[in-house]
A and B are shown apart, each in its own frame.
Chain A
Amino acid sequence: MNSLIILPILIPLLTGIILIFFSKNIPVQKLISVISSLLMVLSALYLAVAVYQDGIQTMNLSNWEAPFGITLVSDMLSALLVLTTSVIALACLLYSFRSIGKERESFFYYPVFFFLVLGINGAFTTGDIFNLFVFFEVMLMASYVLLVLGGTKIQLRETIKYILVNVISSALFVIAVAYLYSVVGTLNMAHISERISQIGQPGIVTVIAVFFLLVFGIKGAIFPLYFWLPGSYYAPPAPVMAMFGALLTKVGVYSITRTYTLFFYHDTGYTHGLLEILSIFTIIVGVIGAIAYSDVKKIIIYNVIVAVGVILFGVATLTEESLAGSVFYLIHDMIIKAALFLLIGIIVKITGTSSIKKMGGLIHQYPALAWTFFIAALALAGIPPLSGFAGKVLIVRSGLESGNYWGAGIVLLSSLFVLFSVMKIFINVFWGSPRAYRQQEPVPAKWLLAAPAVLTAFAVLYGLGTEALYPIISLAAETLSNPEIYINAVLKE
């Protein structure tokens, strides 16, 4: 029996609980949270290695056999996502130490941070559709608290919108699960997949598929359900924004990927055609927003939407190559978005504004920050040999092979506009003549830069090591494109 699979969920849970006891003792909180997030990274790494060597890892909770109890399933995709989540959580945690401020720290910032990680890791690992809902709620409740913590006016306003949207989408999720349960009579994801393939996806299952797309589309911000995202992600402080931008929407994207490759792959003409159209519109909307704004936060936030569209376009194409591209791009995007949000946080902290028209000449005082941002920007746009390249190449190539020239063309064009939007930040903020900024207190820019610099270095290595990583990624794509592997691993037939 291998208990490795539970550790990335159990460690943040226990840490969050223990941190409640030390809510007023900030140094102890910091110490405990660093140690346990290091442990979490290590256990996630071991888990990924175990999955690579021995195939899919499963654990039947409570020792109940597969379709009857809750099963935790870690295939290559979820192991990689859990690993990426743990690394990003560690980076955001280290960044929080110097930037989040004493008031938030003494009001349960760190416990809630760990509950957020718990929800995300759990959502990536679970093999039960209702348990997925529960982990979604764990994640969302923690995100409500992190969004509102501090209680400034903009945070209160945006939290109300965010909670309202997410309560509605959670209710829709419950209804969707209820419909699915009344059709197939099971909640275990492998068993659902088996039952659906037995009845061959009649019309009602296609309706449920679209329903799930609606639910996860709200969580993952696809067109036309993205409307809540730009405002909500604008409100919280930088490390929270990085966690949200890098991880929360990706849980929605992961859920769409999982359900659309495991459950609803029998009538792809309708469901995946719909997903393809929506993903292309998502890219277009994101690109328009990224170009339109002259506000650093807004530009990066709209780039989150572009990335969601690109990943889902790969999922909608549904070949093994495009799925590999999506997995590549998904992990790249998590790392690079976290890095960019943290860098933006430093810039805003130094200049005291987020409008690029009021900034300039930062490269003279902060050269390291400038060049880290430059590399991160190039990686985001997918300039070879950086990390965004391989995924997009695979997605575009399989789009062209399946004859979807329009979609592939738009994905290619979007890179150009994404590059334009981040270079607009780079040129306006870092070049030009230096300006004087009023600062209340000195910004610990060197310390803050460490976390995003390490993440950017990861992105560079991820790009350079594409060849070495390809077998791992294609293992993930193989499980996605052959549901039998997943079903056999869980139900052990």
Chain B
Amino acid sequence: MKTNDLILQTVSKVILFLIVLFSLYMFFAGHYHPGGGFVGGLMTSGAIVLMLLAYDIKTVTTILPVDYKKMIAVGLLFAAGTAAGGLLFGVPFLTHAFTYVDLPLLGKTSLHTAVLFDTGVYLVVIGVTMTIIQTIGESE
């Protein structure tokens, strides 16, 4: 019998945006509030997993044509690059820089290279989670 997932698919479409927004919020809040790259990445991959549940692997790879193994490598490059970047400025490994910038809409904003490191963590977490889930899902 062919099942019809109309309700699940429609609800997922709406919920998906909320989850991704919340995960991005968690990611950017990490410096001052609970959150950060790890939980943000997990939640974003949670959103992708919801897509996988509502649709199938083929559809999801068409929507998001991402090689998650490469994503892990890109994330690691972000983290290692941010950490090693300090060496170029004559300070020890992993030393971060910090500044306040006046942006047009957002006003006085703090910019910290730790965000770049966190971006690396975010990408690695998504990459690892999705690699695990997709590999298990695809294997017979």
Contact = CB atoms under 8 A, between A and B. Distances in A.
A450 interface: no
A20 B128 CA distance: 13
Contacts of B73: 17-18, 20-21
Find the residue from B72, B80, B96 having the highest chain A CB count within 10 A. B80
A59 interface: yes
B70 interface: yes
Chain B: number of interface residues, binned into ranges: 10 to 19
Contact of A59 (B76, B80, B93, B96): B93
A169 interface: no
Interface string B81-111: 0001001001111111000000000000000
Contacts of A6: 87, 92-93
B49 interface: no
B84 to A, nearest CB: 6
A60 interface: yes
Given A20-B72, A20-B73, A21-B70, A61 B92 contact: yes
Chain A: number of interface residues, binned into ranges: 10 to 19
Interface in A37-71: 59-63
B90 to A, nearest CB: 6
Nearest to A71: B92
A63 B95 contact: yes
A188 to B, nearest CB: 15
Nearest to B78: A17
Interface in A1-29: 1, 3, 6, 10, 13-14, 17-18, 20-21, 23
Nearest to B84: A10
B72 A10 contact: no
B72 to A, nearest CB: 7
A18 B93 CA distance: 19
Given A3-B92, A62-B92, A62-B94, 16 more contacts: A1-B90, A3-B87, A3-B93, A6-B87, A6-B92, A10-B93, A14-B80, A18-B73, A20-B70, A20-B73, A21-B70, A21-B73, A60-B92, A61-B92, A63-B91, A72-B93
25 contacts: A1-B90, A1-B91, A1-B92, A3-B87, A3-B93, A6-B87, A6-B93, A10-B80, A14-B84, A17-B73, A17-B76, A17-B80, A18-B73, A20-B73, A20-B76, A21-B70, A21-B73, A59-B93, A61-B94, A62-B92, A62-B93, A62-B96, A63-B91, A63-B92, A63-B95
Interface of B: 69-70, 72-73, 76-77, 80, 84, 87, 90-96
